Amino acid sequence: MFMEMTKEQQLECEFDCRCQNIAHYLHAGKSVTITVQQLKFYGVTPHQALSVLTQWVKAEEAEEHWEAEHLYRGTHHERVFVVYCTKQSDRYVFRAKVKG
Protein backbone atom coordinates (compact mmCIF):
# COMPACT_ATOMS: atom_id res chain seq x y z
CA MET A 1 0.00 0.00 0.00
CA PHE A 2 1.34 3.42 -0.97
CA MET A 3 1.29 6.03 1.76
CA GLU A 4 1.68 9.70 1.07
CA MET A 5 4.15 11.70 3.10
CA THR A 6 2.91 14.44 5.37
CA LYS A 7 4.01 18.00 4.69
CA GLU A 8 6.42 17.71 7.63
CA GLN A 9 7.95 14.52 6.23
CA GLN A 10 8.31 16.12 2.80
CA LEU A 11 10.13 19.11 4.28
CA GLU A 12 12.37 16.81 6.31
CA CYS A 13 13.24 14.83 3.18
CA GLU A 14 13.86 18.00 1.15
CA PHE A 15 16.09 19.42 3.87
CA ASP A 16 18.08 16.19 4.09
CA CYS A 17 18.60 16.17 0.30
CA ARG A 18 19.63 19.79 0.40
CA CYS A 19 22.12 19.06 3.19
CA GLN A 20 23.59 16.24 1.12
CA ASN A 21 24.28 18.71 -1.69
CA ILE A 22 25.62 21.33 0.71
CA ALA A 23 27.98 18.79 2.29
CA HIS A 24 29.70 18.33 -1.06
CA TYR A 25 30.59 22.03 -1.08
CA LEU A 26 31.64 22.04 2.57
CA HIS A 27 33.85 19.00 2.04
CA ALA A 28 35.50 20.82 -0.86
CA GLY A 29 36.41 23.74 1.44
CA LYS A 30 33.65 26.13 0.43
CA SER A 31 31.21 27.92 2.70
CA VAL A 32 27.43 27.88 2.38
CA THR A 33 24.95 30.46 3.64
CA ILE A 34 21.52 29.52 4.94
CA THR A 35 19.14 32.23 6.09
CA VAL A 36 17.15 32.15 9.32
CA GLN A 37 14.03 32.22 7.14
CA GLN A 38 15.13 29.09 5.26
CA LEU A 39 15.79 27.23 8.51
CA LYS A 40 12.36 28.24 9.80
CA PHE A 41 10.75 27.06 6.55
CA TYR A 42 12.23 23.59 7.09
CA GLY A 43 11.49 23.71 10.81
CA VAL A 44 15.08 23.16 11.92
CA THR A 45 17.41 24.94 14.28
CA PRO A 46 21.01 25.83 13.42
CA HIS A 47 22.10 23.04 15.78
CA GLN A 48 19.97 20.49 13.91
CA ALA A 49 21.36 21.74 10.60
CA LEU A 50 24.91 21.33 11.94
CA SER A 51 24.14 17.78 13.00
CA VAL A 52 22.72 16.78 9.61
CA LEU A 53 25.52 18.54 7.71
CA THR A 54 28.16 16.86 9.88
CA GLN A 55 26.77 13.43 9.03
CA TRP A 56 26.72 14.21 5.31
CA VAL A 57 30.29 15.61 5.38
CA LYS A 58 31.39 12.37 7.09
CA ALA A 59 29.66 10.46 4.30
CA GLU A 60 31.46 12.56 1.66
CA GLU A 61 34.81 11.77 3.29
CA ALA A 62 34.00 8.05 3.60
CA GLU A 63 33.05 7.94 -0.08
CA GLU A 64 36.26 9.70 -1.09
CA HIS A 65 38.25 7.26 1.06
CA TRP A 66 36.50 4.22 -0.45
CA GLU A 67 36.95 5.48 -4.01
CA ALA A 68 40.65 6.13 -3.48
CA GLU A 69 41.26 2.65 -2.13
CA HIS A 70 38.93 0.57 -4.28
CA LEU A 71 38.55 2.37 -7.59
CA TYR A 72 41.93 4.02 -7.94
CA ARG A 73 43.97 1.57 -5.85
CA GLY A 74 45.69 4.43 -4.12
CA THR A 75 45.86 5.54 -0.57
CA HIS A 76 43.82 8.18 1.11
CA HIS A 77 44.21 9.10 4.73
CA GLU A 78 40.69 9.56 6.00
CA ARG A 79 40.26 12.99 7.52
CA VAL A 80 37.96 14.07 10.32
CA PHE A 81 36.00 17.24 9.66
CA VAL A 82 34.43 19.71 12.04
CA VAL A 83 31.38 21.54 10.72
CA TYR A 84 30.63 24.91 12.27
CA CYS A 85 28.66 28.03 11.56
CA THR A 86 28.77 31.72 12.31
CA LYS A 87 25.77 33.98 12.42
CA GLN A 88 25.89 37.10 10.34
CA SER A 89 22.76 39.21 10.69
CA ASP A 90 19.84 37.04 9.50
CA ARG A 91 21.91 34.22 8.03
CA TYR A 92 24.24 31.44 9.09
CA VAL A 93 27.47 30.73 7.25
CA PHE A 94 28.39 27.05 7.43
CA ARG A 95 31.95 25.81 6.95
CA ALA A 96 33.90 22.60 7.48
CA LYS A 97 37.54 22.22 8.38
CA VAL A 98 39.80 19.26 8.91
CA LYS A 99 40.24 18.53 12.60
CA GLY A 100 43.76 18.43 13.94
36-40, 70-74, 78-82 — most confident range: 36-40
Q: Are 85 and 79 in contact (CB under 8 A)?
A: no
CB atoms within 10 A of CB 89: 7
Window from 41-45, 48-52, 63-67, 81-85 with minimum mean pLDDT: 63-67
Rounded to whole angstroms, the Cα distance separating 13 from 42 reads: 10
Q: Which helix (H) or strand (E) holds 97?
A: strand 91-98
Rounded to whole angstroms, the Cα distance separating 63 from 60 reads: 5
**pLDDT given for residue 2 in this prediction:** 54
